[in-house]
């Protein structure tokens, strides 16, 4: 479908590509124009994408994008990281490191132009959330202070007056008390970190006395019941800010809290294996292309996130498409603000035990500090205990960090028969949680 003459109720359109995935375009042809410039730049600057684009033939930029194979995390870690590193030159840059929910981390390099592009997007999100002069924004996290410093710059650009980064540790009671005394008007946090505090963060102020107007959640899915609990306890609006390490944040909720708005000319959104929900809405694995990123850009990058995307108009009046995060393609669980996939644990353990086909993980009880993660493994691996423990923490750096921070304790338990149940073909049992 072309974006020309779209009905007013539409904010954009889906364009089907030759490889079966779909790309979202805006109403005004800006997506095509930005994408065309972007492909020209990659053709000139990236040997990796030059080779791929050469096989895509001619046509519009959207058509060529539709013929491109997805970019994998392995591509990002390997040739694309090498290209980025080689191209840094004497320009200043920052890095962002993430496991990408696997046992092999990805490193993202960002030069000043990337940082500013991401800041522009973040300012748009903060403005949509209602941040502005007179606000005191408090960011809460267990370790990632650098991203909070970035949020500080975006908030400052909107006239936000005060900014504080509040560091949460294994003993989180003093931090919640500090939050009460800081009297923020806005809070930015990872949902599971608020959940980890139990009732404490929700009981900081008597009903109707909370200074918080806005709570922005990042990094994870916000469960409906948690949204309701925060909104009720703090008497504030709760909105989700969605993005990935590799592409930055790019979508956020408006006041209607019905999907995250995004600008398809800044971050080009695609869907792999799409399925129609209705004529204006589809679901699939999120693919991202990043015309605004100069140092480590991607085309059709497979995020592993399952999303719903709609080009139907939102009642708020903003004429941009919306996205709803639905979860990960691979099974994950969230712990202390970090996402872990079961496969990541298995991959890490297989460094020591290549024939390992299953293990089970017991989480909790969470009333204890640190919270224990118990890995049940076959008895025959007992002699490799030290190496297996090292493989887990060396292979999954976020797990290592949480152990260091005193939030998690890893325990290995060996037994003749694993508690996997009777399912056939299972590779790794679901984590049983005592939360």
Partner 1 sequence: MSDPPLLAAARAACDALPLYRALWSRRPTVEADIPYIGAADLHCLDGPGQLHVAGADPVGAVPPLRRGRPHLGFTRIEADGDWLLRQRRLIGALSRLGSTRLPRRMALVTDDATGPFAADLVELLAWSRVSASLVYAEAGPRSIDRGIEALAPDLVLLVAGVERPAIDVPLVMVVHAGDRPAAATQTARLLVCDELQVLASAGAGETTYIPADDSVRLEIDPRTGLLAVTSLAFTAAPVIRLQVGPGVALA
- Following DSSP, what letter does each residue of 211-257 receive, concatenated? ---EEEEESSPPPHHHHHHHHHHHT-EEEEEEEETTTEEEEEE-TT-
Residues sharing a CB contact under 8 Å with residue 56, sequence separation 6 or more, in sequence order: 64, 67, 68
Span near partner 1 by CB under 8 A; candidates 50-58, 220-228, 349-357, 400-408: 400-408
Among 72, 119, 164, 433, binds partner 1 (CB under 8 A): 164
Span near partner 1 by CB under 8 A; candidates 3-11, 42-50, 166-174, 347-355: 166-174
Residue 354 interacts with partner 1 (CB under 8 A): yes or no: no
Minimum distance, C-beta of residue 347 to partner 1, in the bound complex (Å): 17
Residue 390 interacts with partner 1 (CB under 8 A): yes or no: no
C-alpha pair distances (Å), 125 with each of 39, 130, 211, 292, 336? 26, 9, 21, 16, 24
Instruction: Specify the residue, 38 or 151, whose C-beta has the smaller distance to partner 1.
Output: 151
Residues sharing a CB contact under 8 Å with residue 344, sequence separation 6 or more, in sequence order: 99, 101, 102, 103, 395, 396
Residue 366 DSSP SS3: coil
Among 42, 117, 144, 186, binds partner 1 (CB under 8 A): 144
Instruction: Specify the residue, 88 or 426, whose C-beta has the smaller distance to partner 1.
Output: 88
Residue 142 interacts with partner 1 (CB under 8 A): yes or no: yes
Rounded Cα–Cα distance for residues 430 and 383 (Å): 25
Residue 218 interacts with partner 1 (CB under 8 A): yes or no: no
Among 19, 36, 153, 430, binds partner 1 (CB under 8 A): 153
C-alpha pair distances (Å), 356 with each of 117, 206, 352, 411? 44, 52, 9, 18
Residue 173 interacts with partner 1 (CB under 8 A): yes or no: no
Instruction: Specify the residue, 257 or 401, whose C-beta has the smaller distance to partner 1.
Output: 401
Rounded Cα–Cα distance for residues 26 and 128 (Å): 19
Minimum distance, C-beta of residue 368 to partner 1, in the bound complex (Å): 17
Among 29, 57, 365, 406, binds partner 1 (CB under 8 A): 406
Instruction: Specify the residue, 68 or 408, whose C-beta has the smaller distance to partner 1.
Output: 408
Span near partner 1 by CB under 8 A; candidates 57-65, 206-214, 269-277, 403-411: 403-411
Rounded Cα–Cα distance for residues 435 and 196 (Å): 10
Rounded Cα–Cα distance for residues 119 and 280 (Å): 30
Span near partner 1 by CB under 8 A; candidates 39-47, 156-164, 355-363, 380-388: 156-164
Among 19, 36, 162, 372, binds partner 1 (CB under 8 A): 162
Q: 133 is written with which tokens?
A: 């002069």
Instruction: Specify the residue, 36 or 77, whose C-beta has the smaller distance to partner 1.
Output: 77
Instruction: Specify the residue, 281 or 393, whose C-beta has the smaller distance to partner 1.
Output: 393
Residue 168 interacts with partner 1 (CB under 8 A): yes or no: yes
Residue 184 DSSP SS3: coil
Residues sharing a CB contact under 8 Å with residue 231, sequence separation 6 or more, in sequence order: 215, 237, 238
Ranges within 178-197 binding partner 1 (CB under 8 A): 178, 181-183
Handedness of CA 197, 199, 204, 208 (dihedral sign): positive
Instruction: Specify the residue, 44 or 92, whose C-beta has the smaller distance to partner 1.
Output: 92
Minimum distance, C-beta of residue 406 to partner 1, in the bound complex (Å): 5
Ranges within 67-126 binding partner 1 (CB under 8 A): 85-86, 88-95, 97, 107, 109, 112
Minimum distance, C-beta of residue 166 to partner 1, in the bound complex (Å): 5
Residue 81 DSSP SS3: helix
Minimum distance, C-beta of residue 122 to partner 1, in the bound complex (Å): 15
Mapped to the 3 state alphabet, what secondary structure does 92-137 carry? Answer: CEEEEEECCCCCCCEEEEEEHHHHHHHHHHHHHHHHHHCCCCCCEE
Residue 316 interacts with partner 1 (CB under 8 A): yes or no: no
Running DSSP on this structure, what letter comes out for residue 358? Answer: -
Rounded Cα–Cα distance for residues 275 and 308 (Å): 9
The answer to whether 287 and 72 have CB atoms below 8 angstroms apart is no
- Residues in the site for partner 1, rule: CB under 8 A? 85-86, 88-95, 97, 107, 109, 112, 142-146, 148-149, 152-153, 156, 161-171, 174-175, 178, 181-183, 401, 404-406
């Amino acid at each position: 479908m072309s974006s020309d003459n779209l009905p007013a109720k539409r904010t954009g359109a889906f364009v089907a590509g030759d490889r079966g995935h779909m790309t979202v375009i805006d109403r005004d042809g800006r997506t095509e124009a930005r994408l065309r410039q972007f492909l020209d730049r990659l053709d000139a600057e990236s040997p990796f994408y030059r080779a791929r684009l050469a096989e895509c033939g001619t046509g519009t930029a959207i058509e060529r994008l539709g013929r491109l194979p997805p970019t994998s995390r392995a591509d990002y870690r390997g040739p694309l990281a090498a290209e980025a590193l080689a191209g840094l030159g004497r320009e200043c840059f920052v890095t962002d490191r993430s496991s990408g929910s696997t046992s092999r981390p990805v490193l993202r390099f960002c030069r000043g132009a990337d940082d500013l592009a991401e800041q522009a997007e973040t300012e748009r999100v903060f403005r949509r959330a209602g941040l502005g002069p007179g606000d005191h924004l408090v960011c809460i996290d267990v370790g990632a202070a650098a991203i909070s410093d970035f949020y500080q710059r975006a908030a400052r650009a909107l006239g936000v007056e005060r900014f504080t980064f509040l560091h949460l540790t294994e003993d989180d009671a003093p931090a919640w008390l500090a939050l009460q005394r800081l009297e923020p008007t806005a809070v930015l946090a990872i949902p599971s970190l608020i959940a980890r505090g139990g009732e404490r963060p929700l009981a900081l102020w008597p009903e109707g006395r909370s200074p918080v107007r806005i709570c922005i959640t990042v990094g994870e899915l916000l469960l409906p019941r948690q949204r309701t609990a925060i909104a009720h306890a703090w008497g504030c609006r709760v909105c989700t800010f969605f993005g990935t390490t590799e592409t930055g944040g790019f979508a956020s909720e408006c006041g209607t809290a019905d999907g995250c708005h995004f600008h398809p000319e800044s971050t080009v959104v695609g869907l792999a294996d799409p399925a129609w929900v209705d004529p204006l809405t589809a679901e699939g694995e999120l693919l991202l292309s990043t015309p605004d990123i100069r140092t480590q850009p991607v085309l059709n990058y497979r995020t592993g996130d399952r999303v719903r995307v709609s080009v139907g108009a939102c009642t708020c009046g903003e004429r941009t498409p919306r996205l709803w995060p639905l979860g990960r393609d691979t099974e994950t669980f969230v712990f202390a603000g970090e996402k872990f996939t079961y496969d990541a644990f298995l991959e890490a353990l297989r460094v020591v035990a290549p024939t390992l086909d299953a293990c089970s993980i017991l989480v909790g009880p969470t009333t204890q500090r640190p919270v224990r993660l118990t890995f049940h493994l076959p008895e025959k691996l007992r002699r490799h205990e030290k190496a297996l423990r090292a493989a887990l923490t060396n292979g999954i750096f976020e797990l290592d960090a949480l152990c260091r921070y005193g939030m998690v304790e890893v325990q290995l338990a060996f037994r003749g028969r694993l508690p996997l149940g009777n399912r056939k073909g299972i590779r790794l049992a679901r984590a049983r949680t005592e939360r």
